[in-house]
């Protein structure tokens, strides 16, 4: 199931609210768990088994770690087992194809494997259960004794399929003791609706432009078309991902949970280092806690730090997709991060705004080109087109048409990605006078209405000639 569907918004969600809020508190986790199973099983009726296995497995591991608290050897064995099995499952489903392909390419073999569909959310929930076992091992958090509570943590539908990656330590308390209030619910609604709008009204719309440009034959790719296209993708991925995170966090609030922010206006960053403290925060936090710091972080000198950054970012890239371009994308960022740490981060962050901002956005946009092209050959061609090296010209009528078509939308997207937009929302709408608040409510209602309209339209399928 997806959040931006009629089924979820108008059938699933009200039903869950009905049962959840009319039940006594001690049943609520159970109801959340059950609805989450339905939510997940709806899209993944068979592979739900893997998610359940992962849950039982690490629930058991947590208990064992607690039991053998004083036995470092046994504890390490359990941790190792958890790591191997969890990463093994992830590797098997997500990366087998990639490994086989690489071996084929390296040794000129033609091993064929039956491609397996990727279980929904596996990259997210394996990381979540791993954060649990590692934190119990470290003694940072106590093991959860109630299976349902633990299951709720893993499977909770707000964040199961697309994050944010919630560390068990962060919500352990709220799992058993939380307070659902009208105000919190309302705040959640506001965040949810804004996230819905970001995804359905902004991301999906501007994504159409990228689809059109992506499909252009390289001979027709002018500078204008290439830039319009990648700019569209730059907005699409941000609003899609942050919109989904907003919906997840908003839903969490509705049920009394406080999830951490996952995006913090990343496109206002003035250095790549700053960018990564604002983009997909839960992922970079996970990698910092469980890979960077265990590797020594920045506590073992400059060169070890640079090495650690490269390792972490290679893994970050690889986490995003089972292909070489993703690994390169990760290394690309590692390169800039190290460069900044070594030379010019302070200069660029304290310099004029436009310098830091321009530099960061340029690096990020070029990064997205790498991210979106699994075919590295085409990737280079696209980059060439962006700088006019392909000789296709500055602009053609197709590009000018798209500029006319999407110009307004792109400008509006730009505005929504800035802090001015957030300030407008927080200072004037949410904390403003009665009139402003009513205006804001009206705006939210419009967003809700039009998001529904767009979701309906996606299923609209008129036939010119009647189908017998």
The residue ranges that bind other proteins (CB under 8 A) are 5-7, 9-11, 13-15, 17, 42-46, 182-183, 185-187, 189-190, 192-193, 205, 397-398, 400-401, 404-409, 412, 429-430, 434, 437-438, 440-441, 444-445, 448-450, 452-454, 456-457, 459-468
Q: Which of 64, 7, 67 is nearest to 38 (CA)?
A: 7
Q: What is the DSSP string of 5-50?
A: SHHIIIIIHHHHHHHHHHS-HHHHHHHHHHHHHHHHHHH-TTTHHH
Which of 75, 253 has the CB closer to other proteins? 253
Q: At its nearest, how many Å lie between other proteins and the CB of residue 222?
A: 12
- Cβ nearer to other proteins, comparing 14 with 24: 14
Residue closer to other proteins by CB (options 80, 453) is 453
133-164 burial, b if ≥16 CB within 10 A, otherwise e?
bbbbbeeebebbeeebbbbbbbbbbbbbbbbb
Residue 41 or 266: which CB sits closer to other proteins? 41
Q: Please spell the DSSP secondary structure of 280-307, one letter per residue.
A: SHHHHHHHIIIIITTTTTTTT-HHHHHH
Q: Under a CB-based contact definition with an 8 Å cutoff, are residues 256 and 339 in contact?
A: no
Cα angle for residues 29, 31, 35 (degrees, 5° grid): 120
Beta-carbon contacts of residue 96 (< 8 Å; ≥ 6 apart)? 113, 116
Q: How far is the CB of 423 from other proteins (least distance, A)?
A: 16
**Minimum CB separation from other proteins for residue 15, in Å?**
7
Identity of the residue, 303 or 466, whose beta carbon is nearer to other proteins in the bound complex:
466
Q: How far apart are the C-alpha atoms of 325 and 382, rounded to whole Å? A: 14
Q: Is 114 a catalytic residue?
A: no
Active-site option among 258, 280, 320, 357: 320
- In whole angstroms, how close is the CB of 393 to other proteins at the nearest point? 14
Report the nearest approach of other proteins to the CB of residue 75 (Å). 39
Residues 428 and 379: their CA atoms lie apart, in Å, by: 43
Q: Which residues are catalytic?
A: 320
């Amino acid at each position: 199931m997806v959040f931006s569907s009629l089924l979820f918004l108008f059938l699933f969600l009200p039903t869950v609210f009905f049962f959840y809020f009319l039940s006594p508190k001690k049943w609520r986790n159970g109801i959340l768990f059950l609805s989450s199973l339905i939510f997940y099983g709806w899209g993944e009726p068979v592979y739900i088994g893997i998610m359940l296995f992962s849950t039982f497995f690490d629930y058991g591991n947590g208990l064992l770690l607690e039991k053998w608290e004083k036995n470092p050897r046994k504890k390490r064995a359990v941790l190792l087992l958890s790591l191997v099995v969890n990463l093994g499952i992830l590797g098997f489903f997500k990366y087998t194809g990639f490994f086989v392909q690489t071996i084929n390419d390296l040794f000129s073999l033609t091993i064929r494997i039956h491609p397996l569909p990727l279980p929904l959310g596996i990259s997210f929930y394996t990381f979540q259960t791993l954060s649990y076992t590692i934190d119990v091992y470290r003694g940072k958090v106590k093991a959860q004794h109630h299976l349902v509570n633990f299951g709720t943590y893993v499977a909770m539908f707000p964040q199961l399929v697309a994050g944010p990656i919630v560390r068990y330590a962060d919500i352990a308390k709220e799992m058993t003791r939380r307070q659902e209030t009208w105000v919190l619910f309302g705040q959640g609604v506001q965040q949810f609706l804004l996230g819905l709008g970001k995804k359905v009204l902004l991301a999906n719309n501007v994504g159409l432009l990228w689809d059109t440009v992506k499909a252009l034959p390289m001979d027709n790719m002018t500078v204008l078309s290439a830039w319009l296209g990648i700019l569209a993708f730059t907005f699409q991925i941000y609003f899609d991902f942050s919109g989904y995170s907003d919906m997840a966090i908003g839903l969490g609030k509705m049920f009394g949970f406080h999830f951490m922010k996952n995006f913090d206006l990343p496109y206002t960053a003035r250095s790549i280092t700053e960018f990564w403290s604002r983009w997909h925060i839960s992922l970079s936090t996970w990698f910092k806690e469980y890979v960077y710091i265990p590797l020594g972080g920045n506590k073992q000198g400059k060169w070890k730090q640079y090495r650690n950054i490269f390792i972490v970012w290679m893994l970050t890239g690889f986490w995003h997709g089972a292909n070489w371009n993703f690994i390169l994308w990760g290394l690309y960022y590692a390169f800039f991060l190290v460069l900044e740490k070594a030379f010019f981060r302070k200069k660029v962050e304290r310099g004029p705004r436009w310098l830091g901002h321009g530099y960061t956005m340029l690096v990020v946009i070029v990064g997205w080109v790498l991210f979106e092209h699994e075919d590295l050959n085409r990737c280079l061609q696209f980059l060439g087109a962006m700088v006019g090296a392909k000789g296709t010209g500055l602009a053609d009528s197709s590009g000018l048409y798209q500029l006319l078509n999407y110009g307004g939308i792109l400008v509006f997207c730009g505005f929504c990605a800035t802090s001015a937009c957030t300030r407008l929302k927080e200072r004037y709408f949410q904390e403003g006078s009665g009139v402003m608040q009513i205006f804001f409510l009206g705006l939210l209602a419009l967003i809700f209405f039009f998001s529904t309209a767009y979701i309906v339209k996606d299923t609209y399928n008129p036939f010119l000639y009647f189908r017998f």
